[in-house]
Amino acid sequence: MGTDQGSGEFVREALGVAERITADGSSPWPVEAGRYRLVAARACPWANRVIITRRLLGLEDAIGMGVAGPLHDERSWRFHLDPGDVDPVLGIEYLREAYEKAVPGYDEGVTVPAMVEISSGKVVTNEYALLERDLSTQWREFHRDGAPDLWPDPDAIEAVGEGIFHDVNNGVYKCGFASTQQAYERAYDALWSRLDELSEHLATRRYLVGDTITQADIRLWVTLVRFDAAYHGHFKANRHKLTEMPVLWAYARDLFQTPGFGDTIDFDQVKQHYYGVHRSVNPSGVVPKGPDLAGWSVPHGRDDLGGRPFGDGTPPGPPPEGERVPAPS
């Protein structure tokens, strides 16, 4: 992450290992069950997108997952939740070690999600947007029976997803890390203009594109679910709380209560990461006790809008034992 010194605007760093894993021979990395380990973090929305996609498609057996803890330092994401502070499969403490095996002297951002080749310990890719798409298209051989089609209309999904990325997913970071009042207000205005537009769109539609859950919904939801816990206060995105926006709050609860979404979220880790790591924003490192999470289980009422969450597919089963997270309380 960085800030443009001239404008004061937050600038997201380029991805350092933007390879692909493909089934058609178009890359040096072939699709192969058991060859790769997805390294993610419960706190990170970009990783959460891939965690949800993997869950919905039923790829847990084909792609194992390591979970970095919510706290890290300048050395990168760390496996501080695992015994001995070491990932049990990769045998490393810091994710940076896998980046340096891939690119000796690596000096760019160490981000999650990252796909790591287990045998070599090398990061293969940290290109989250291509990865989530490739899980749907390149890994079809390993999808579960009843896996949904998350890309029924790619052009429409990318069109809505582009605005969500710039103004919402990245927009909250632009608010939080702006170093001038002007940069902050530009990001704030763009964020709320886009959320108002999305609220109007979703007032009469259960999902963003068509009548089923698509990748567009995954992209928007990972920011909404973190909104009140982190972005509203920590990043000063404070025109309203999510719970004060009736349409988006009901939409977010609808997905939270859908298998594959809420069962990937650990609110404690979300708060520990944002408030504990971003010392330029929260110098004390004090983590708030709130907000009250009881509302996530309140009925959402959006069934009346119709829609078929999984289309012709079926819901995923429960998360594997080692991947279960505590329910909000």
Residues serving a catalytic function are: 44, 173
**Residues 144 and 60: beta-carbon distance below 8 Å:** no
- DSSP character for 78? B
Q: Which amino acid is at 7?
A: S
* Distance set, CA 208 to CA 199, 222, 255, 296 (Å): 10, 14, 12, 20
Structure-token pair, residue 103: 């690119």
Q: What is the Cα gyration radius of the chain?
A: 19
Cα atoms found within 13 Å of the Cα of residue 152, Cβ hemisphere only? 17
DSSP percent split of the chain into helix, strand, coil, nearest 5? 40, 10, 50
The sign of the dihedral angle between the CA atoms of 172, 128, 34, 317 is positive
